[in-house]
Structure 1
Amino acid sequence: MKMTAREIAEACGGRLLCGDPDTVVTSVSTDSRKIDSGTLFVPIKGERTNAHTFIGATFAAGALATLTQEHDSMEDRHVWIRVQSTEQALQQIAAAYRKRFSIPFVGITGSVGKTTTKEMVALALSAGLNVMKTEGNFNSQIGLPLTMFTLDKSHQVAVVEMGMSDFGEMSRLAQIAAPDYAVVTNIGISHIEQLKTQQNIMNEKLHITDCFHKNSVLFLNGDDRLLTQLRNTAKFKIVWFGTQSWCDFRADNIRTEKASTRFTLVAPEGLYEVRLPALGIHNVTNALVGLAVAKTLGVPLEKAIAKLAEYRPLAMRQQIHRVNEVTVIDDSYNASPDAIRSSVDVLCGFHTGKRIAVLADMLELGEYSQKAHFDVGEYAAKAGIDALVTVGERAKEIVRGARSVHPELPCFPCGDNSEAITKLKSILMGGDAVLVKGSRAMKTDQIVKALL
């Protein structure tokens, strides 16, 4: 990126306190530990830390400029720009920078699977276009703006993940990224503690379309009960993907082969065979929308399908490891009821030894928490797991749900990860398959590392 201090101040309505207005900034950071020569530092004032205290250190590390919401005057050779809110200013600067690019922008949102979907959409598009994509899960009110600054003139399309957890957040993200195309993966109950109902969750996520124009396209999951309410109601073009007979991009004849899934893509112009090196119907759905977006943006389906055959799961997202004849499914990045059901389905696709589900607390479910945990346990037992290990107080309800279906199911409620590790090591045998999943705060990746 390249923006002058003057352009930055104009973009966010800031006041230049000192420094040369023609100073050229070449990167933006909110992390005082990640500073390059030419950086604009954006100090965020959080609940625990006020990053304004690190401004001096960032200049010593090579930063050329800083925003501030705490200084009204300054004398310094570096650029200081006074703003009302550094976070809001960051968003405004990012929105201004994004407007310099006329390439297609694809926004990805949904309750579950945003990051994996983003990866598959970007991979499919890369068969014909130079893609800028969100790194990791930089999808928040701060992460998305920082993603904008990675754009350069070589990019032909941008794929950005857009996450929200409360009212108004998606609308702000839409103003920053202004996606021309948008994907909604599903509507679950993640963040329902703040948003209260699934209808509210859907309504908020649909604000991803706030900056749509007449040629924009919305890609929706035809297997999602709530999203299908939008059939024949939207004011812009919708492309449906899923397994329903009426979907524009449909998966048929789905079958599993070792660590891969094969299916027949039924597209508007014909049938195609697809091999995806990942398991689970949810990944089939992710691949479908990747192909749908690629086709819509002019990438030949044959080339996009070949690219998806190169897909590799991200860390802690259904990565499959084999250690001492035990299969470990590392899905420890995060958890929600829908995500756990999908992962349990993957686990139960293994048919050698015992199928052991290690499930930890799911957070941010509010008044739905008890029922959601119970329902997950019920689902896991019906799906055919052979043993259940839980971690955390809330997860005890998973045990109750499982035993309501299968009273004799071996269940081991554990207070922490260490206890779960000890229990697993005592029951694991060659040929077993183990799924590890829980909310990020539960740090269930510790269990995976111990097993590996």
Structure 2
Amino acid sequence: MRMTVGEIIAACGGKLLCGDPNTLITSVSTDSRKIQFGTLFVPIVGEKTDAHSFISATFAAGAAATLTQEHDGMIDSHAWIRVQNTEQALQRIAAVYRQRFHIPFVGITGSVGKTTTKEMVALALSGSFNVMKTEGNYNSQIGLPLTMFRVSDTHQAAVVEMGMSNFGEMSRLAQIAAPDYAVMTNIGISHIEQLKTQQNILSEKLHITDCFHKDSILFLNGDDALLAGLRGKPGIRIVWFGTASWCDFRAENIRTAASSTRFTLIMPGGSCEVELPALGLHNVTNALAALAVAKTLGVPTEKAAAKLAEYRPLAMRQQIHHVSDVTIIDDSYNASPDAIRSSVDVLCGFRTGKRIAVLADMLELGDFSQQAHFDVGAYAARAGVDIVLTVGERAREIAEGARSVNPDFVCYSCGDNAEAIAKLKSLLTGGDVVLVKGSRGMKTDQIVKALL
């Protein structure tokens, strides 16, 4: 990025306390440990730490300027910019910076599968474009603005993940990223503790379209019941993807091999065979979204499909490992009811030894928590899981759900990861397949690391 201090002040409505308005800013950081020469430091006031205390250290590391909401006067050779709120100022600067680029911006949201879909959309578009995509989990009120500053004149398209957990957040993200196109993967019950109902979740996520223009398109999963209810919605052009016969981009003849999935893409104007090195119907749906976006933006479908054949799962997202004749499905990054059901389907696609599901607490489900855990257990028992190990207090309800289907179903409830690891090691024999999944706060990746 390249902005002067003067341009930053104009963007956020700040006041220069000291320093030169012509100072050139070449990067923005909220992390005092990630400072380069020419960085604008944005000190965020968090629940535990007020980053204003690190301003001096950032200047010593090479920062050129800082925002501040806690100083009214300053004498220094560096630029200090007074704002009312540093987080809001960061968002305003990012929104102004984004408007410099007249390339297609694609926003990705949904309750489950945002990151995988973002990866696939970016990969499919790379068949014809130099693509900037969200890295890591930079999809939030602070992360998305920082992602905007990574766009440069060399990019021909941008794919940005947009995550929200409360009222009003998606509207703010839409003002920052101003996506020309948007993909919505599904409407589940992630973050329902704050948003209370799935209809509220849908309404909030639809704010991704707040900055749409006349040529904008919303890509929706036709296999999701709530999203399918938007058929015929006036005012927004919608392109549908899924397996339903009425979807614009749909998958037929889905075949699964040891570590890949093949399907026939049916689309306006023709069809195409697609091979995806990932398992699960949910990944077929993610690939359909990517192919729909790519074709809409002019990427030849054969090129987009060839790029998707290069897809590799991200860390802790259904990565498959083989250790001593045991297969481990590492899906430990996070969990929600819909995501667990999709992962259980992948587990039950294996036909070798015992199919063991290690399932930890799902967080942020509020009043839905007990029933959601119970229902996941019942689903696992019906799907064909042989053994369930639960981790955490909430997850004990998963065992109850499994036993409601079959009183003799084999379940073990563990208090923590260490107990689960010990139990697993006593159970595993050659040919077994283990799925490990839980909310991020449960740190179930520790279980995977112990097995590896």
Q: CA–CA distance in 1 between the matches of 2:407 and 2:438?
A: 23
User: What is the rounded CA distance, in whole Å, between the counterparts of 1:408 and 1:36 in structure 2?
Assistant: 60
2:25 alignment partner AA: V
Does 1:317 find its partner at 2:317?
yes
Runs of 4+ in structure 1 displaced over 6 angstroms? none
* In the alignment, structure 1 residue 189 sits paired with structure 2 residue 185: no
Counterpart in 2 of 1:11? Answer: 11
Instruction: Write out per-residue CA displacement over residues 339-396 of structure 1, whole angstroms, 9 at most, x where no aligned residue.
Output: 0000000000000000000000000000000000000000000000000000000000
Q: Does 1:288 align with 2:288?
A: yes
Distance apart, 1:407 and its partner CA? 1.3
Structure-2 residue corresponding to 1:418 = 418
Aligned ranges for residues 372-451 of structure 1 at < 5 Å? 372-451=372-451
The Cα shift of 1:296 comes to 0.3
Measure, in 2, the Cα distance between the counterparts of 1:115 and 1:20: 40
Q: Structure 2 unaligned runs (5+)?
A: none
Give the partner amino acid of 1:167.
F
Q: Which amino acid aligns with 2:428?
A: L
2:180, 2:53 → 1: CA distance? 39
1:219-266 deviations in Å (ceiling 9; x for gaps): 000000000111011312100000000000000011101100000101
Name the CA distance, whole Å, in 1 between partners of 2:449 and 2:44. Answer: 33
Partner residue in 2 for 1:103: 103
TM-score w.r.t. length of structure 1: 1.00
What pairs with 1:284-363 in structure 2 (closer than 5 Å)? 284-363=284-363
Alpha-carbon distance between aligned partners in 1 of 2:136 and 2:183, rounded to the nearest angstrom: 18
Match in the other structure for 1:174:
174
SS of residue in 2 equivalent to 1:66: strand
Q: Which residue of 1 aligns with 2:21?
A: 21
Amino acid at match of 2:300: P
Gaps of 5+ in 1: none
SS at match of 2:367: helix
Instruction: Count residues in correspondence.
Output: 452
Kindly report which structure 2 residues correspond to 1:102-141, keeping only aligned pairs within 5 A, or say none: 102-141=102-141
CA distance in 2, matches of 1:291, 1:332: 27
Q: CA deviation at 1:406?
A: 1.6
The one-letter code sitting in structure 2 at the alignment partner of 1:35 is I
| Paired residue type of 2:155 | H
Partner secondary structure for residue 16 of structure 1: strand
TM-score by length of 2: 1.00
Query: Aligned equivalents of 1:297 and 1:339: distance in 2?
Result: 29
Give the distance between the partners of 1:280 and 1:37, measured in 2 at CA: 45
AA of the residue aligned to 2:375: D
Following TM superposition, by how much is the alpha carbon of 1:137 offset from its aligned partner in structure 2, in angstroms?
A: 1.8
Cα offset, 1:36, TM superposition = 0.6
Helix, strand or coil for the counterpart of 1:328? strand
Partner of 1:66: 66
Counterparts of 1:313 and 1:234, CA distance in 2: 37
Q: Which residue identity is paired with 2:179?
A: P
Q: Letter of the 1:249 partner, please give it.
A: F
Q: What letter matches 2:435 in structure 1?
A: L
| Secondary structure at 2:225 match in 1 | coil
Residue type at the aligned position of 2:66: T
Give the aligned partner of residue 243 of structure 2.
Answer: 243
SS in 2 for 1:230: coil
* Amino-acid identity (%): 79
The residue number in structure 1 matching 2:229 is 229
Partners of 1:8 and 1:272 in 2: CA distance: 47
TM-superposed deviation, 1:270: 1.1
